[in-house]
Structure 1
Amino acid sequence: MDQAKDRPKNGSMQARVIADMRERIIRGAVGPGAPLSEIALAQEFGVSRTPVREALKQLQTEGLVEIRPRVGTFVTIPSRREITELFEMKGLLEGAAVRLLARRGRVAEIDLLERNLREADAAVERDDRGRYAELVQEFHDLLVAGADNSKLEAHYRMLMNQLSYPRLVNTSLSRPRRVQQSDREHHHVLELILEKDGDSAEHVMREHVRASRRAVLAGLPFGGPDS
């Protein structure tokens, strides 16, 4: 009976550790390659090592951490190949999303996208890269939400976690003139959606993701072409 009572508690502890650590990794608060100590995390969260261990296993399945037997657990360092592959999938999913959104007409997400672009233009004008980075993430999230396809959105969320996308957005926007270029590309995508030109919107969206990938790869240090 006591064990049964403990299960929900342990489960909630594990969920809390997963959510917190996932957020830290995605936001870049814990950098790529950083070691993660079960003991230190258990002390920080005030739990036993068991929920921490299970949480790290879950994060490994999501591609966020790497567990090396008899060595330790580390935040995953994506290789150039992995980033390229993940961005290829991002382009496919977001391309499909804008095609679906273009078919839907004047839905609520369109108004939110228009507001997003007005705020983004203002952020570009005042050279507020931090705010613009937030709006970039919101723009892409709205496109996917506007597709109104729960399966697409579920795959997209997992992919964004594996990419640690907020950190990569900042890397991309650090490249010269990338902020201005990104803003123009976002406007072009929305124009095509409003014209209900799903084919062109999908093509432009994929090109936008390719441009982002090039900027990210140019801004990240790698040991070699496939490292």
Structure 2
Amino acid sequence: MKSSKKFETRDGEIRADLRRRIIALELPPGTALSRQQLQEQYTLSSTPIRDALLQLQEEGLVAIQPQSRTCVTLIDGEQARQAHFLRSTIEREIASRLARTAGPELHTTLDRLIRLQEDVSRHDLYLFAQLDQEFHEELFIAAGLEHVHDAIRRESIHIDRIRALHLPLGDKTARILDEHRRIAEALRTGSAEQAGTAMTQHLSQSIGMAAELRRLHPNYFAA
């Protein structure tokens, strides 16, 4: 029983690492995944690799063709658009609600995350993106909507990869930081309208760039 538990934990670590690499575009859309190479990279047998890939297929991040090949899925622009609509609608309402109800603990947490993002913005884009997600997750937690957050995260795989394409461009990290500061300030001052508007503007940036990103990376997007 002890070894089985360790084995299950290791499987989860493999899935999480592959997921991270796909979302961060270390494994770009369309990349063929060799199970043999993955076994060598992770120094594991075929079974945990197969199980990790099956879980990623359930998430929509890989496509497994029996007796053929496994590859990273292309970015689905329509699914990204619908996920953005869902997220934007809900997070605008959360921001407006929290402007009326949030306590000092949330303000302290958001300020801490903004400072951490400032520290890593120029040298670790993946960590910057993780802190961005944590910033938004704290809003869901403060609103008592953790399960809603989990559901939205499951639907956000395509928009996450669009954001990974967008993040290195121009002054994107600086703009995210400025938008986070505006959201935090609106929450602090109790302005529900400003908080909702700031959130909507913040979440619209990457989806608004989708057409341009498709032009720059046509092979990454589904037809």
TM-score by length of 1: 0.76
Which structure 2 residues correspond to residues 3-22 of structure 1 after superposition, within 5 A?
7-8=4-5, 10-22=7-19
Q: Which residue of 2 aligns with 1:84?
A: 81
Structure 2 CA distance for aligned equivalents of residues 5 and 183 of structure 1: 45
1:36/1:122 CA distance change after superposition, 3 Å: closer
Query: What secondary structure sits across from 1:59 in the alignment?
Result: helix
Q: Which residue of 1 aligns with 2:188?
A: 194
Question: Does the 8 A contact of 1:79 with 1:222 survive in 2?
Answer: no
1:15/1:197 CA distance change after superposition, 3 Å: same
Q: Which residue of 2 aligns with 1:108?
A: 105
Q: 2:29 aligns with which of 28, 32, 37?
A: 32
Unaligned runs of 5+ in 2: none
Query: What secondary structure sits across from 1:209 in the alignment?
Result: helix
Unaligned runs of 5+ in 1: none
Structure 2 CA distance for aligned equivalents of residues 205 and 52 of structure 1: 39
Which structure 2 residues correspond to residues 68-217 of structure 1 after superposition, within 5 A?
68-118=65-115, 128=122, 130=124, 133-134=128-129, 135-160=131-156, 162-163=157-158, 165=160, 168-217=162-211
Report percent identity of matched pairs.
Answer: 25
Question: Does the 8 A contact of 1:193 with 1:201 survive in 2?
Answer: yes
1:199/1:152 CA distance change after superposition, 3 Å: farther
1:119/1:63 CA distance change after superposition, 3 Å: same
Q: Deviations over 1:166-209 (max 9, x none)?
A: x5444324444544443333232222222333354234312321
1:169/1:11 CA distance change after superposition, 3 Å: same
Q: CA deviation at 1:223?
A: 6.3
Query: What secondary structure sits across from 1:66 in the alignment?
Result: strand
Q: Deviations over 1:108-147 (max 9, x none)?
A: 22112124445656778xxx37469445444334333333
RMSD: 3.4
- Compare 128-137 and 203-212 and name the one that shifted more: 128-137
How many residues are aligned here?
219
Question: Does the 8 A contact of 2:162 with 2:206 survive in 1?
Answer: no
